[in-house]
Structures are given as structure tokens and as C-alpha cells.
């Protein structure tokens, strides 16, 4: 199957001259979309058909209306990402004005297409679409494009979320494996355990998980019910450690046994929990969290931050950007600000990324007057790609005083987990319900291992070696 690497392999340059884009495309004659493992789809190429095709509405997005025609032509005629989807239903075809009962030579096709484009102001956008085509729908040899459900965003994560939705419709012969001649994928072992209870996991969930991982060029090696083969799996994790390890907290009773064995063989590698021990996450939560973990493991998404150009993120840069995030929705305590100087956490880019996403979540929290409609943890994972826990029993100090009020600072963003004490990142913050804001009190290494000594020279972080 094709992957995000294919989507990002080329960038199409577009302009706002729709007539020119249509004319250039019409002069190309027959144009075919090449589909992995299937016959290509012949696209319409005369001016009238193109003009009609490009007039359809586009879902509200970051794409300027002036560039819609050229962007849609790039998406349809020059996609870099193609996944064949299951054929549209008879009802959907009927709703589109075609009655399948009367078909003779017509053949409906459904595709997921993706492309990366750049407009003259240098803004980069990502587009994805679910396209319904009817071969021989105009006459023999002439394809009718019945529907183009496209979405455009400057945020690659939003487009990936849309692609993951479309993947649920992938044809059965789409396999989560590299295309012929492509680079070998990484392997991540997923000890997902559990059940096939449709109230928790819908039919075909394993395939959907593997296809989602395939987007990131990752082979997801799913091991059901690992507790029943604990000794064998532990031995394998030690002797043949994969690129990463995910352990499903919902149904694996002792995840630390597997994680400890894996990290002993591959120190510093990616090992995290998926889900919640209280089984409170639903299927969509699991998918969103899996997508977050995959983005952490595999480039090009890991450690991306919203900075112009190729700025190298040092703690000096991160400090400036984090301070700029503060506002009515997000407050940094003096302690948090002091921690930005000479911070011992080794990945300032990663910390900045998580702070940016926490700030975005804080804005939504304030705008919604604290009523997000779902649990904060679920919104954080599903909409912002960060993992939040509301409690930490090992925290030394669990409250702070702000404006004469005591606030609980146990809520925290898990920047990392299951790593050495010098690599585990945390952002601790309080939910100020009265002021509808987040109050950040800690940015850096795991709080219960860190304390601060205040002197005339300011605040200096000191690692605590004891429990």
C-alpha cells in the first residue's frame, strides 16, 4: 500500500489561474490515475467536463477559493497518494443520480487520493479526497466523475485523520505491506490482548489498525492475549527487539513486565501504553491514540513544530516560543518560567510541540467555557494528539496557590513514558475552572524526580536520585 512518504514525495506548485489549469490539463489528452494493484481510471479531459467537475463545493478548509480549481486538478490528475476503496453502494449511486439497475457497461470505482501543493505565497497545503468515478458513465471509454469529497488543510495531522477514516473503506486486497521495490518498513509489536466483543472493538479492527500503521511505513505485529504466552513474548522482545512496543492497558494485566524486558534489550526505544486500565476509552479513542503513537515513532511527523523555515529548536528558541503561548487561556507560573532556563529535558523541540498543542487545547477549553462535550483526556488525544492524565499519586506537591485559591496540579501531559529518568518529559498544569484557563506549573522532567533550589542565581534543576 502507499504511505505518507508517497503523499509527501512531491509538491505540486499551483496558481490561481483556473482557465490556464483547465487548458493545460485538456491539452494532455487521455489522463489515467494509476491505482496500485488495479487497472487505471481514465479521467475526463475536455474543457467542458473539466469545468463542470471543478465547480463542486469543497468542504470548509484552509484552501483559498482562488486556488480551488488548480488545487483540485492537482489532486485528481496528479495525486501522489492513491488507495482503492470499496465500490459505492447502490443507494449512494442513486443519490448521485445514477441507477445501478440500468447499468450495462458502467463500472463504479471509489478512490482515496492525496496530494501536497504549494501556492505562490509559499503556503503548503495537503489535500485528500474520496472520489467516486463511473467508468463508461458518459459513453464507452468516457468516465464520469460523480463525486469529489475533498478536504484541504495546512495541518498534516488533520489530513491524516481524514485519510484514516477513508481507510476503513479500503478494498479487501489492500494489504498493510510495502509496495514492490519500496523500502522495508519498521516493525512495532502491539500487545493488544483483549477481546473481539463488538461493543468494544468492531469487526475488522485488526486490519484497520494495521492499515493505519502502514500509512507510517510501520508493520504492526499484533499479538492477541499476550499474558497467555508471557514467557515466549518476553524472550522474543529481549532477543529480537522491534522498533517500538505498544501495550494495550485495557486488557493486558501486567504491561510493565513486557515493557521492562523490551527496554532492557533496547534502552531508550519507544515503549508506551495504549488505552486505559479502566477500559474507559472507546474505539475511536483507541484509533486516535494509536495514530498519535505512530506519529511519534515514524518520520516525517515526529517532532514537528510550528516554526518558520528550518529553525533549529534549542531551549533558547523553545523558551521564547513557549512564553509567547501565554494568554488568558494559558498561564505560566513563575516556577514554570524559571524551568525554561537550562532545562535538563533533552528534547526541546518535542517539549515545544506538546506545549503548542496544550495551548491550542486550552483555547478550546476557554472558548467552550470549560464544556468540551467529552472528557478532557479524550479531546486531547483525539483532536490535539497529546496524552493527558488527570492524576499522579507519586507527585510530591499536588496543589499550588493562585490568587488565594488552591488548584490541583496533578493533571499532566505525558511527553514521554517508560524511559530513563533523564528522558521522561512532563507538563503539569492545573485546571482553573473559575477562570476557564490552564495554569502550567512544571515543564521538564518527571516532577517527582525533580526539585528546585532557589538562590541568588535563580532556579537550578537538581535531579533527585532517591524515590
- Mean pLDDT confidence for 162-188: 90
42: pLDDT strictly greater than 60: yes
Residue 91: pLDDT band with limits 50, 70, 90: very high
- CATH architecture of residue range(s) 186-297: 3-Layer(aba) Sandwich (3.40)
Residue 59 has pLDDT above 80, yes or no: no
Question: Is the pLDDT score of 73 beyond 60?
Answer: yes
At residue 407 the predicted structure's pLDDT band, cuts being 50, 70 and 90, is very high
CA separation, residue 238 to residues 221, 241, 263 (Å): 16, 6, 8
Q: What is the mean pLDDT of residues 301-330?
A: 73
pLDDT at 191: 87
pLDDT band at 144 (very low <50, low <70, confident <90, very high): confident
Task: Report how far residue 91's alpha carbon sits from residue 108's, in angstroms, rounded to the nearest whole number.
Answer: 13
Distance of alpha carbon 306 from alpha carbon 27, whole angstroms: 40
User: pLDDT higher for 282 or 356?
Assistant: 356
239 touches 232 (CB < 8 A): no
Q: Give the pLDDT score at 67.
A: 80
- Say how many Å lie between the first and final Cα of the chain, rounded: 48
Is the model's pLDDT at 213 over the cut of 90? yes
CB 291 within 8 A of CB 164: yes
In which band, very low, low, confident or very high, does the pLDDT at 302 lie, cut at 50, 70 and 90? very low
CA distance 229 to 236: 11
Per-residue pLDDT at 455: 30
CB 273 within 8 A of CB 249: yes
> Taking residues 363-387, what's their average pLDDT?
87
Beta-bridged to residue 256, according to DSSP, are: none
User: How far is CA 376 from each of CA 95, 204, 224, 241, rounded to the nearest angstrom?
Assistant: 38, 28, 29, 34
Question: Does position 445 have pLDDT exceeding 80, yes or no?
Answer: yes
Give the pLDDT confidence score for residue 310 in this predicted structure: 41
User: Which range (39-43, 115-119, 180-184, 325-329) has the least confidence?
Assistant: 180-184
Residue 379 has pLDDT above 50, yes or no: yes
Domain ranges of the chain: 4-167, 186-297, 315-463
Give residue-wise pLDDT tens across range 105-139: 999 999 999 999 888 776 788 999 999 999 998 88
For the chain, give the percent of residues with pLDDT over 90.
Answer: 38
Q: Between these two residues, 279 and 455, which has the higher pLDDT value?
A: 279
- The answer to whether the Cα torsion of 334, 340, 344, 348 is positive or negative is positive
The pLDDT assigned to 1 comes to 92
163-167, 244-248, 334-338, 396-400: least confident range: 396-400
Q: What is the pLDDT of residue 37?
A: 82
93 vs 121, residue with greater confidence? 93
Could you tell me which residue, 451 or 219, shows the higher pLDDT? 219
> 76 vs 44, which has greater pLDDT?
76
pLDDT band of residue 183 (cuts 50, 70, 90) is confident
CB 36 within 8 A of CB 82: yes
pTM: predicted TM-score of the whole model, two decimal places: 0.70
The yes-or-no verdict on residue 451 having pLDDT over 60 is no
The model's confidence at residue 19, banded by pLDDT at 50, 70 and 90, is low
Question: Strand pairing of 437-445 and 330-332?
Answer: parallel
For the chain, give the mean pLDDT: 82
d(CA 170, CA 115): 18
User: What is the per-residue pLDDT across 267-279, written as a single tens digit (0 to 9) for each?
Assistant: 888 898 887 766 6
pLDDT band, very low/low/confident/very high, at 235 (cuts 50, 70, 90): very high
Give the residue, 139 or 451, on which the prediction is more confident: 139
pLDDT digits (tens, 9 = 90+) for 249-295: 877 888 889 999 999 998 888 898 887 766 666 778 888 889 888 98
What percentage of the chain has pLDDT greater than the value 70?
Answer: 81
Amino acid at each position: 500500500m502507499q504511505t505518507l512518504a508517497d503523499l509527501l514525495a512531491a509538491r505540486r506548485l499551483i496558481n490561481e489561474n483556473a482557465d490556464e489549469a483547465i487548458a493545460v490539463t485538456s491539452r494532455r489528452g487521455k489522463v489515467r490515475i494509476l491505482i496500485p494493484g488495479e487497472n487505471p481510471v481514465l479521467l475526463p479531459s475536455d474543457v467542458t467536463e473539466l469545468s463542470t467537475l471543478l465547480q463542486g463545493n469543497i468542504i470548509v478548509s484552509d484552501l483559498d477559493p482562488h486556488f480551488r480549481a488548480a488545487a483540485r486538478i492537482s489532486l485528481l490528475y496528479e495525486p501522489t497518494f492513491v488507495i482503492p476503496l470499496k465500490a459505492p453502494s447502490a443507494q449512494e449511486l442513486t443519490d448521485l443520480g445514477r441507477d445501478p439497475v440500468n447499468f450495462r457497461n458502467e463500472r463504479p470505482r471509489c478512490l482515496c487520493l492525496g496530494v501536497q501543493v504549494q501556492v505562490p505565497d509559499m503556503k503548503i497545503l495537503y489535500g485528500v479526497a474520496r472520489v467516486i468515478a463511473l467508468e463508461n458513465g458518459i459513453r464507452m471509454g468516457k468516465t464520469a466523475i460523480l463525486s469529489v469529497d475533498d478536504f484541504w488543510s495546512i495541518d498534516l495531522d488533520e489530513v491524516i485523520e481524514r485519510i484514516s477514516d477513508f481507510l476503513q473503506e479500503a478494498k479487501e486486497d489492500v494489504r498493510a505491506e510495502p509496495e514492490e521495490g519500496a523500502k522495508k518498513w519498521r516493525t512495532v509489536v502491539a500487545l493488544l490482548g483483549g477481546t473481539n466483543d463488538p461493543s468494544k472493538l468492531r469487526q475488522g479492527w485488526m486490519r484497520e489498525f494495521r492499515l493505519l500503521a502502514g500509512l507510517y511505513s510501520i508493520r504492526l505485529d499484533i499479538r492477541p492475549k499476550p499474558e497467555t504466552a508471557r514467557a515466549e513474548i518476553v524472550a522474543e522482545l529481549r532477543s529480537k527487539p522491534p522498533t517500538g512496543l505498544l501495550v494495550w492497558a485495557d486488557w493486558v494485566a501486567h504491561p510493565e513486565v513486557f515493557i521492562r524486558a523490551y527496554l532492557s534489550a533496547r534502552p531508550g526505544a519507544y515503549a508506551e501504553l495504549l488505552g486505559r486500565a479502566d477500559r474507559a476509552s472507546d474505539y475511536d479513542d483507541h484509533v486516535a491514540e494509536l495514530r498519535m503513537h505512530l506519529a511519534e515513532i515514524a518520520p516525517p511527523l515526529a517532532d514537528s513544530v510550528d516554526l518558520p523555515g528550518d529553525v533549529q529548536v534549542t531551549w533558547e528558541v523553545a523558551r521564547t516560543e513557549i512564553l509567547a503561548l501565554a494568554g488568558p487561556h494559558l498561564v505560566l507560573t513563575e516556577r514554570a518560567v524559571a524551568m525554561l532556563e537550562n532545562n535538563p529535558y533533552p528534547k526541546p523541540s518535542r517539549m515545544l510541540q506538546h506545549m503548542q498543542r496544550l495551548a491550542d487545547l486550552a483555547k478550546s477549553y476557554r472558548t467552550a467555557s470549560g464544556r468540551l462535550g467529552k472528557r478532557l483526556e479524550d479531546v486531547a488525544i483525539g483532536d490535539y494528539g497529546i496524552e493527558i492524565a488527570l492524576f499522579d499519586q507519586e507527585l510530591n506537591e499536588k496543589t499550588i496557590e493562585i490568587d488565594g485559591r488552591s488548584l490541583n496540579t496533578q493533571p499532566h501531559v505525558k511527553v514521554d513514558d517508560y524511559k530513563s529518568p533523564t528522558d521522561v518529559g512532563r507538563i503539569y498544569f492545573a485546571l482553573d475552572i473559575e477562570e476557564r484557563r490552564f495554569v502550567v506549573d512544571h515543564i521538564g522532567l518527571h516532577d517527582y524526580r525533580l526539585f528546585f533550589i532557589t538562590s541568588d542565581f535563580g532556579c537550578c534543576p537538581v535531579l533527585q536520585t532517591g524515590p
